[in-house]
Amino acid sequence: MSSSRFLLHLTIFLLIFHRNFCFPSKQTLFLPLKTTLGRPPLTFAPSSKLSASAAAAAAGSTANKLGFHHNVTLTVSLSVGSPPQIVTMVLDTGSELSWLHCKKTPNLTSTFAPELSNSYSPIPCASPVCKTRTRDLPIPASCDPNNQLCHVAVSYADASSIEGTLAYENLVIGSSTRPGFLFGCMDSGFSSNSDEDSKTTGLMGMNRGSLSFVSQMGFPKFSYCISGFDSSGVLLLGDASFSWLKTLNYTPLIQRSDPLPYFDRVAYTVQLEGIQVGNKMLDLPRSVFLPDHTGAGQTMVDSGTQFTFLMGPVYTALRNEFLQQTRGVLRVLEDPNFVFQGAMDLCYRIAEPAGTSFSNIPQVSLMFEGAEMSISGERLLYRVPDMNTGRDSVYCFTFGNSDLLGIEAFVIGNHHQQNVWMEFDLEKSRVGFAETRCDLAGQRLGMDI
């Protein structure tokens, strides 16, 4: 998770349209999204995200709409406390616990001040809430050093960590106030990238755990759409359907009740069944896509990881086939010592402008149970910032090797979700997607993004 690793950063400004329905489950929020440069979310390993358990082990209907700017991680600006304080939180579908920096330091420009809020209520360590509501967290909650308050901690694969007190607070969304929101009020920790951390107040967990934002707020589903043409996009919390949106293809979420060391039970896990390059299916047995007896090998759909990472044997097969089909079309960067973001070792020298090079490369399709995600053109190659070889720019294949990062999983990153409407349906336990022009989504929803 070094500063050189650029993942998708989405800054979200809350724009809430109220209808005649009850908050929260019948309200839909739409958020405009725009691009800024930032760091990866903290919940995953070095340049992507790893499930917490795996890291520890190695015109529509009613809707809430918000927009964002994107380049590395989703961030949402909203009000917390009484009187309300504006905070900016990384929106992370790979995390459960939402938390805020609550102690000012020279490195932090944005913090939440609990002493200024009349509604801030720390949880005693003797409270049942301290044990029962934190059951899905990878690190068990405990009592603080004074044996009084509920202490929570989160650690990450790059050695970053943060800890503090579990507390209740009011969450203000538009004109609606949601009391009793559980979050971590963090006062200590270590960061591998304090400069980037200082740009946000905290993190908003969006996975399927009981403490996540989407679970606490009671939304039956949420969706987002990331533009591949500019910095715009939309995040939608709640249920909505639109006449301009193509029919979504759905793939079921994988459920596991038994605890396994490398399986994140509250991640958005789907079943990858195969990969096609051009018209050729990779000759791989279905077993290589299935989690093993330890849970290693699950496939997670993640908004906070920029690129897609595949387990070693699958990555090698894809790399070799893509290399074979692009011979004579793209010039390989002949530098065996260069590995972009520590896991992407297939890079090319491309003369600018690169448009014609993108048009001649084969499409890569990810085959899921009941659905397919097709990746083509510039989404397959990413220009390495500030790196040139003579007059050529360096572009790298946007799939990486999970093994090089120590990630025991397949992770579908947001770069490959660009111009795809992504829906996470918690009620029906499924993920849906359909190709669309995400840069136009905000305009169609009447949003100024």
Cα(first)–Cα(last) distance of the chain, in Å? Answer: 29
Give 113's DSSP letter.
-
Identity of residue 61? S
For residue 353, is the peptide bond before it cis, meaning its omega torsion is within 30 degrees of 0?
yes
Instruction: State how far the Cα of 110 lies from the Cα of 89, in Å rounded to an integer.
Output: 10
Two tokens, residue 176: 């609606």
Cα 17–chain centre separation: 25
Instruction: State how far the Cα of 93 lies from the Cα of 351, in Å rounded to an integer.
Output: 36
List, in sequence order, every residue forming a beta bridge with 411; answer none if it has no partner.
Answer: 300, 309
Phi and psi torsions of 214, nearest 5°: -65, -30
Exposure b/e, 281-308, CB count within 10 A at least 16 = b = ebeeeeebbebeeebbbbbbbbbbbbbb
Instruction: State how far the Cα of 177 lies from the Cα of 22, in Å rounded to an integer.
Output: 12
Angular region, 281: left φ>0, alpha ψ -120 to 50, beta rest = beta
Give 7's DSSP letter.
-
Helices (H) and strands (E) in the chain, counts: 8, 30
The kind and range of the H/E element at 159 are none
Q: Which residue has the tokens 């499930």?
A: 51
Burial-class residue 152 by CB neighbours within 10 Å (0-12, 13-18, 19+).
buried
Phi and psi torsions of 233, nearest 5°: 175, 180
DSSP 202-240: EEEE-SSSTTSHHHHHT-SEEEEEE-SSSS-EEEEES--
Asked if 202 and 185 count as a contact pair (C-beta separation under 8 A), the reply is: no
Asked if 79 and 172 count as a contact pair (C-beta separation under 8 A), the reply is: yes
Residues marked as catalytic? 92, 302
